Amino acid sequence: MKNYIATHSFFSEKLKADCFEAIGSMSEGEIASSMTGERAICQMTWHDGGIGMEMVCWWKAESPDAIIDQLGDMNSFFTTESKELDQTIDFNAMRG
């Protein structure tokens, strides 16, 4: 699988609130399970606690479409733009 950074842009303030409410009603296990599939696995998510209109996620996936497929019903809250980013610079290793 390849590395992708996905930017999820909420369609509206109401849908953003609905999304955070839905996520807040789930256990950690349910959240992790819903973001884990054979073709796409969310590695990490960053957000600002609902202040802005975007979340950013790091995915390991076969393709951007695999991320959309894994998100399923979550796609009703936001649009997703994914960029493949497989070139890395490990600054921690450089500090070694």
pLDDT reading at 39 higher than 80: yes
Q: Which domains does the chain have, with CATH numbers?
A: 2-85 (3.30.70.1060)
pLDDT in tens, 54-79: 999 999 999 999 999 999 999 999 99
Is the Cβ–Cβ distance between 44 and 52 less than 8 Å?
no
Question: What are the strands of the beta sheet with 40-46, ordered from one edge?
Answer: 40-46, 54-61, 2-10, 78-84
What is this structure's pTM? 0.84
Between these two residues, 41 and 86, which has the higher pLDDT value?
A: 41
CA 3 – CA 86 distance, rounded (Å) = 6
